[in-house]
Structure 1
Amino acid sequence: MTVSTAAGALSACGGSGGAASQPGGKDAAEGIAGSGFGQGVASGDPKPDSIILWTRADGGSGGQNIKVTLQLSDRADFSTLLVNVALSAQPAWDYTLRHKVTGLNSATTYYYRFLTGAAVSMTGRTKTAPAAGTPLSQLKFAFISCQDWSVNHWGAFDELATQDLDFIVHLGDYIYETVGAGFQSGGNESRHPALSLPNGTKRADGAIYATTLADYRSLYKAYRGDARLQKLHASFPMIAIWDDHEFSDDCWQDRQEYSATDDSTPQTARRRSASQAWFENMPADVQLDLNNPSFQNIQIYRSFVFGDLATLVMTDERLYRSDHIIPETQTGSEIGSRYFVPQDILSQVEAAKMTSTGGNLLSVSVLGETQRAWWQGQMKSATTTWKLWGNEVSLLRMGFDGTVAVAALLTQGLVPQLAGFGLTLSQPQIAQLQGALYLDLAAANTSGATPVVSYTNTQPLLSSLSGGAISAGTFNASIKPGLDAGLPPSLFFDKFILNADQWDGYNAERKALMAYLKAQSIGNVVALTGDIHAFFAGPVMDDYDAASPSPVMVDLVTAGVSSNSLFSYFKNVVDTVPAFSKAKPLIYTTASGQVVNTFTNTLQSFNSWLKYVDSDAQGYALVTLTPAKLSCVFHKVGAVSNGVAPSPATLSVKTVEVAAGAAAVNVL
Structure 2
Amino acid sequence: MPPMRHTTRHDATLRRAAPHLARRRFLTVTAAAAALAFTTNLPAKGAMAAPMKKPRRITEDPFTLGVASGDPLPDSVVLWTRLAPKPLEEGGGLGDESVAVLWELSLDESFAAPVRAGTAIAFPDYGHSVHIDVQGLTPSTVFYYRFRVGAWVSPVGRTRTAPAAGADTSGLKLAAVACQAYQDGYFTAHRHLAAEDVDMVFHLGDYIYEYAVNEVGGKRQYTDVKLPAALNHETMTLADYRLRYALYRNDADLQAAHAAHPFVVAWDDHETENNYAGDHDENGSPPEQFLVRRAAAYRAYWENMPLRAAQLPSGPDAQLYRRLMWGNLAQFDILDTRQYRDDQAYGDRPHVPGPESTDPARTITGDAQEQWLIDGWRSSTALWNVMPQQVCFAQRKFNLNADSTVSMDAWDGYSASRQRVMDGAKEVGLKNWLVLTGDMHVAYAFDLKENFDDPASKTVGTELTATSIASGGNGTDKPSNWETQMKANPHMKFYNGRRGYVRIELGRDATRADFRTVSAVTTPGAPVSTAASFVTEAGAPGLKPA
What is the TM-score normalised by the length of structure 1?
0.70
Query: What is the aligned counterpart of 1:166 among 188, 191, 199?
Result: 199
Q: Is the 8 A contact 1:279 1:288 kept in 2?
A: yes
Q: CA deviation at 1:63?
A: 2.4
Query: What is the aligned counterpart of 2:184 among 112, 130, 151?
Result: 151
Query: What is the aligned counterpart of 1:639 among 520, 523, 542?
Result: 520
Q: CA deviation at 1:545?
A: 4.3
The residue that corresponds to 1:630 in the other structure is 511
Amino acid of the structure 2 residue aligned with 1:57:
L
Amino acid of the structure 2 residue aligned with 1:132:
A
Amino acid of the structure 2 residue aligned with 1:607:
N
Residue identity over aligned pairs, in percent, reads 31
The residue that corresponds to 2:53 in the other structure is 29
The residue that corresponds to 1:338 in the other structure is 349
CA distance in 1, matches of 2:190, 2:94: 32
Query: What is the aligned counterpart of 2:488 among 606, 610, 617?
Result: 606
Relative to structure 1, the CA distance from residue 172 to residue 110 in structure 2 (aligned partners, 3 Å threshold; closer, same or farther) is same
Q: CA deviation at 1:288?
A: 5.3
The residue that corresponds to 2:159 in the other structure is 126
Amino acid of the structure 1 residue aligned with 2:492:
L
Amino acid of the structure 2 residue aligned with 1:16:
P
Amino acid of the structure 1 residue aligned with 2:523:
V
3-state DSSP of counterpart to 1:376: helix
Q: Is the 8 A contact 1:514 1:541 kept in 2?
A: no
Unaligned runs of 5+ in 1: 1-14, 201-207, 329-336, 355-360, 404-493, 569-594
CA distance in 1, matches of 2:312, 2:220: 38
Q: CA deviation at 1:255?
A: 2.4
Relative to structure 1, the CA distance from residue 373 to residue 33 in structure 2 (aligned partners, 3 Å threshold; closer, same or farther) is farther
Relative to structure 1, the CA distance from residue 554 to residue 43 in structure 2 (aligned partners, 3 Å threshold; closer, same or farther) is same
Relative to structure 1, the CA distance from residue 192 to residue 365 in structure 2 (aligned partners, 3 Å threshold; closer, same or farther) is farther
1:107-153 superposed Cα distances (whole Å, 9 cap, x missing partner): 10111111111100011111111112211221111110001111132
CA distance in 2, matches of 1:241, 1:228: 20
Q: Is the 8 A contact 1:400 1:495 kept in 2?
A: no
The residue that corresponds to 2:464 in the other structure is 556
The residue that corresponds to 2:356 in the other structure is 349
Q: Is the 8 A contact 2:80 2:305 kept in 1?
A: yes
The residue that corresponds to 2:239 in the other structure is 214
1:130-186 superposed Cα distances (whole Å, 9 cap, x missing partner): 1122112211111100011111321111111111111111101111111159xx996
**Which structure shows the higher helix fraction?**
1
CA distance in 1, matches of 2:51, 2:292: 30
The residue that corresponds to 1:304 in the other structure is 324
The residue that corresponds to 1:322 in the other structure is 342
CA distance in 2, matches of 1:667, 1:324: 35
CA distance in 2, matches of 1:189, 1:566: 14
CA distance in 2, matches of 1:289, 1:390: 20
The residue that corresponds to 1:663 in the other structure is 541
CA distance in 2, matches of 1:543, 1:526: 17
Are 1:64 and 2:90 an aligned pair?
A: no
Q: CA deviation at 1:325?
A: 2.3
Is the deviation greater in 220-229 or in 652-661? 652-661
Relative to structure 1, the CA distance from residue 38 to residue 660 in structure 2 (aligned partners, 3 Å threshold; closer, same or farther) is same
Relative to structure 1, the CA distance from residue 596 to residue 664 in structure 2 (aligned partners, 3 Å threshold; closer, same or farther) is closer
Relative to structure 1, the CA distance from residue 519 to residue 197 in structure 2 (aligned partners, 3 Å threshold; closer, same or farther) is farther
CA distance in 1, matches of 2:243, 2:410: 29
Relative to structure 1, the CA distance from residue 519 to residue 268 in structure 2 (aligned partners, 3 Å threshold; closer, same or farther) is same
CA distance in 1, matches of 2:182, 2:489: 32
Are 1:40 and 2:72 an aligned pair?
A: no
Q: CA deviation at 1:262?
A: 4.4
CA distance in 1, matches of 2:386, 2:79: 24
Q: Is the 8 A contact 2:217 2:227 kept in 1?
A: no
Relative to structure 1, the CA distance from residue 502 to residue 191 in structure 2 (aligned partners, 3 Å threshold; closer, same or farther) is farther
Are 1:254 and 2:286 an aligned pair?
A: no
The residue that corresponds to 2:21 in the other structure is none
RMSD of equivalent CA atoms: 2.5
1:453-511 superposed Cα distances (whole Å, 9 cap, x missing partner): xxxxxxxxxxxxxxxxxxxxxxxxxxxxxxxxxxxxxxxxx723332211111111111
Q: CA deviation at 1:563?
A: 0.9
Relative to structure 1, the CA distance from residue 189 to residue 630 in structure 2 (aligned partners, 3 Å threshold; closer, same or farther) is farther
CA distance in 2, matches of 1:93, 1:503: 34
Are 1:52 and 2:78 an aligned pair?
A: yes
The residue that corresponds to 2:415 in the other structure is 507
1:203-240 superposed Cα distances (whole Å, 9 cap, x missing partner): xxxxx310000000001111111111111111111000
Relative to structure 1, the CA distance from residue 143 to residue 288 in structure 2 (aligned partners, 3 Å threshold; closer, same or farther) is closer
The residue that corresponds to 1:379 in the other structure is 377
Relative to structure 1, the CA distance from residue 144 to residue 197 in structure 2 (aligned partners, 3 Å threshold; closer, same or farther) is farther
The residue that corresponds to 2:36 in the other structure is none
CA distance in 2, matches of 1:101, 1:19: 17
Q: CA deviation at 1:45?
A: 0.4
Moved over 6 A (4+): 191-194, 565-568
What is the TM-score normalised by the length of structure 2?
0.85
1:341-385 superposed Cα distances (whole Å, 9 cap, x missing partner): 023x3xx2245x44xxxxxx3xx1110011001111111211111
CA distance in 2, matches of 1:233, 1:289: 20
Relative to structure 1, the CA distance from residue 222 to residue 385 in structure 2 (aligned partners, 3 Å threshold; closer, same or farther) is same
Is the deviation greater in 545-554 or in 514-523? 545-554
Q: Is the 8 A contact 2:213 2:231 kept in 1?
A: no
Query: Highest CA radius of gyration, 1 or 2?
Result: 1
3-state DSSP of counterpart to 1:365: coil
Aligned residues: 495
Amino acid of the structure 2 residue aligned with 1:159:
H
Relative to structure 1, the CA distance from residue 94 to residue 377 in structure 2 (aligned partners, 3 Å threshold; closer, same or farther) is same
The residue that corresponds to 2:254 in the other structure is 229
Relative to structure 1, the CA distance from residue 65 to residue 663 in structure 2 (aligned partners, 3 Å threshold; closer, same or farther) is same
Q: Is the 8 A contact 1:51 1:101 kept in 2?
A: yes
Unaligned runs of 5+ in 2: 1-41, 86-92
CA distance in 2, matches of 1:288, 1:61: 25
Q: CA deviation at 1:391?
A: 1.4
Q: Is the 8 A contact 2:534 2:545 kept in 1?
A: yes
Relative to structure 1, the CA distance from residue 527 to residue 33 in structure 2 (aligned partners, 3 Å threshold; closer, same or farther) is farther
3-state DSSP of counterpart to 2:508: coil
The residue that corresponds to 2:147 in the other structure is 114
